[in-house]
């Protein structure tokens, strides 16, 4: 996953957080995330910890992702039932390869991917990043999002690319550079380590409008288990509304139990950032509820990545997702 926490270096481990009351009568579900436990996964942990999944007849175990995890492969091998896909680039790629998966919900309306710059750089807009001689980014971002940047804004060039090793030291040492990250994560650590508040440029607000933090399953599993899928999606959405707008103490305790490196300060920063940037509750979620997938948004993003050669033009992108289980205003009454 792009732009994740450089200060965490734990292996992927399975975190069993299932509720025990009535578990014998509940359907067992394994849900694989794409990184270590954090506030960006908070609604899922909340739904386990406060019993929401249990109320929907589900005994859910969260299988953490991480540097050594293979949760996407475990989904294809039927070892887990659901996987947390990062964004639609990965989903489009899977369909290109005839991998039989489908997105059933999109918890984030905006991808948290961001470029981080020094305050003295004088940059004010996303396109101003083209003025910098150096941008630290991962290879995956260079071959996808950066290609869109070059085609959309004048001045971006391949020579700016320097490999990002999930270590902020090169960025901190070079005031004329930018670094990729997650808006909910790296800026907090950079402010702590570097002693300054960095400038943030969110890809989504510049037009790179893929939904993110999606719930993915195999097509045959979805077709054979529609009631179960609906219950998992609904309970996850309620977990997210509670986590964002209610008492999220149970979810935060579960996150810290699963990932002891996680701090209260980082969690608080991530939650506030998710709210202030409208990552979860904006766009289609404002009318259809958290998790809603907008046909127009998916088509818009597909057209953009096709135009720069990142995705094939003849892809049947509608195979990538379904709106059958979302946009039903589930849990919206919990928003305060």
Q: Is residue 37 assigned to a domain? A: yes
Mean pLDDT by groups of 10 residues along the chain of 336 residues: 38 40 74 97 98 98 91 96 96 93 98 97 96 97 96 97 94 97 96 95 97 98 98 98 98 98 97 98 97 97 96 93 98 92
What is the DSSP secondary-structure string of 212-246? EEEEEEEHHHHHH-HHHHHHHHHHHHHHHHHHHHS
Count CA within 13 A, CB hemisphere, residue 152: 21
- What residues have CB less than 8 Å from 261, skipping those under 6 apart? 7, 8, 10, 36
Q: 3-state DSSP: the chain helix, strand, coil percent, rounded to 5? A: 45, 20, 40
pLDDT at 2: 40
| 22 shares its domain with 105 | yes
Q: Is residue 8 assigned to a domain? A: no
Q: Is residue 318 assigned to a domain? A: yes
| 179 shares its domain with 147 | yes
| 39 shares its domain with 186 | no
| 66 shares its domain with 170 | no
pLDDT at 216: 98
Domain boundary among 141, 171, 206: 206
Question: What CA–CA distance (Å, rounded) separates 7 from 178?
Answer: 18
Tally the domains of the chain: 2
Domain boundary among 206, 236, 268: 206
**Residue appearing with tokens 């309306």:** 109
| 47 shares its domain with 23 | yes
| 269 shares its domain with 318 | yes
| 219 shares its domain with 313 | yes
Residue 153 lies in domain: 113-206
pLDDT at 1: 40
pLDDT at 328: 98
CATH number for the domain spanning 245: value is 3.40.190.10
Q: Is residue 3 assigned to a domain? A: no
| 69 shares its domain with 146 | no
pLDDT at 231: 98
Q: Is residue 311 assigned to a domain? A: yes
Please list the alpha-helical segments (H only) found in 129-185.
139-143, 145-152, 169-173
Question: What CA–CA distance (Å, rounded) separates 140 from 103?
Answer: 21
Domain boundary among 190, 206, 222: 206
Q: Is residue 119 exposed (0-12), middle (13-18) or buried (19+ Cβ within 10 Å)?
A: exposed
| 131 shares its domain with 244 | no
Q: Is residue 122 assigned to a domain? A: yes
| 252 shares its domain with 295 | yes
| 90 shares its domain with 126 | no
| 272 shares its domain with 151 | no
pLDDT at 67: 83
pTM over 0.75: yes
Q: Is residue 7 assigned to a domain? A: no
Q: Is residue 1 assigned to a domain? A: no
């Amino acid at each position: 996953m792009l732009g994740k926490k450089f200060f965490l270096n734990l292996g992927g481990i399975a975190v069993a957080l299932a509720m025990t009351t009535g578990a014998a009568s509940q359907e067992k579900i394994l849900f694989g995330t794409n990184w270590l436990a954090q506030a960006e996964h908070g609604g899922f942990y909340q739904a386990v910890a406060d019993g929401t999944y249990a109320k929907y007849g589900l005994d859910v175990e969260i299988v953490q992702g991480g540097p050594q995890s293979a949760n996407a492969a475990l989904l294809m091998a039927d070892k887990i039932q659901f996987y947390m896909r990062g964004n639609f680039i990965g989903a489009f790629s899977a369909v290109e390869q005839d991998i039989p998966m489908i997105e059933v919900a999109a918890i984030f309306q905006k991808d948290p991917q961001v470029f981080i710059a020094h305050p003295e750089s004088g940059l004010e807009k996303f396109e101003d990043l083209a003025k910098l001689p150096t941008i630290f980014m991962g290879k995956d971002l260079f071959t996808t999002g950066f290609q869109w940047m070059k085609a959309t804004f004048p001045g971006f060039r391949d020579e700016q690319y320097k490999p990002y090793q999930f270590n902020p030291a090169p960025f901190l040492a070079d005031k004329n550079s930018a670094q990729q990250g997650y808006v909910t994560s790296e800026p907090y650590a950079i402010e702590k380590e570097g002693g300054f508040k960095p400038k943030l440029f969110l890809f989504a607000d510049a037009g790179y409008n893929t939904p993110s933090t999606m719930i993915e399953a195999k097509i045959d599993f979805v077709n054979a288990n529609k009631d179960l899928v609906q219950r998992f999606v609904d309970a996850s959405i309620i977990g997210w509304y509670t986590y964002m707008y209610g008492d999220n103490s149970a979810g935060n305790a579960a996150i810290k139990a699963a990932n002891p490196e996680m701090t209260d300060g980082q969690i608080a920063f991530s939650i506030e950032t998710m709210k202030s940037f409208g990552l979860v509750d904006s766009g289609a979620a404002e009318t259809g509820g958290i998790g809603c997938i907008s046909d127009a948004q998916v088509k818009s993003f597909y057209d953009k990545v096709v135009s720069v050669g990142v995705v094939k033009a003849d892809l049947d992108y509608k195979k990538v997702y379904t709106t059958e289980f979302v946009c039903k205003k589930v849990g919206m009454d919990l928003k305060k």
